Amino acid sequence: MPKITYIAFDGTPYEVEAPLGSTVMENAVKHMVPGIEAECGGACACATCHVYVDDAWTAVTGSPEPMEEDMLDFAYDVRPTSRLSCQLKVKPEYDGLVVRIPERQA
């Protein structure tokens, strides 16, 4: 099973095993990683599961679809590596993925 590391805003790393096909958001919620709110439950409708994909991994995660890009307008401190974690579906290539949690969700 792929391992994903979430780095909380205070620097604490959380390494979790993420089943294929689940989303990066779902695994954060399941393991109570602080800083992921996911208010809408994964509908790409709220921008409260915002993460920064580690620079080394952006090629693997690719870029957001237009709907996600629109929703990112509502997030706080959006950067080129910003993604909504509910839109990142775990694939075998994600093994080792590192994402950082922003200071706050919108």
Partner 1 sequence: MTAPIETDVVIVGAGPVGLFAVFELGLLDLKAHVIDILDRPGGQCTELYPEKPIYDIPGFPIVTGQGLVENLMEQIKPFHPTFHLSQQVESLTRLDDGRVQLTTDAEQAFIAKVVVIAAGGGSFQPKRPPVPGIEAYEGTSVFYAVRKMEAFRGEEIVIVGGGDSALDWTLNLQPIAKRVTLIHRRDDFRAAPHSVEQMRKLVAEGAMDLVIGQVTGLEGADGKLSAATVKLSDNSLTTIPATRLLPFFGLTMKLGPIANWGLNLHENLVPVDTEKFETSEAGIFAIGDINWYPGKLKLILSGFHEGALMAQAAKRIVAPGERIIFQYTTSSTNLQKKLGVV
> Among 2, 19, 5, 17, which residue's Cα sits nearest to residue 51?
5
The tokens describing 9, both together, are 């805003």
Could you say which of 1, 43, 56, 59 contacts partner 1 (CB under 8 A)?
43
65 binds partner 1 (CB under 8 A): no
Q: Shortest Cβ distance from residue 30 to partner 1 (Å)?
A: 17
Q: Shortest Cβ distance from residue 17 to partner 1 (Å)?
A: 26
Q: Shortest Cβ distance from residue 103 to partner 1 (Å)?
A: 8
- For partner 1, the closer of residues 39 and 55 by Cβ is 39
DSSP state of 21: T
Helix (H, G, I), strand (E, B), or coil: what is residue 18? coil
- On the CB side of 62, CA atoms within 13 Å amount to 11
Q: Decide if 88 contacts 4 (C-beta within 8 A).
A: no
Site map 66..105 versus partner 1, x via CB under 8 A: ---xx-xxx-xxx-------------------------x-
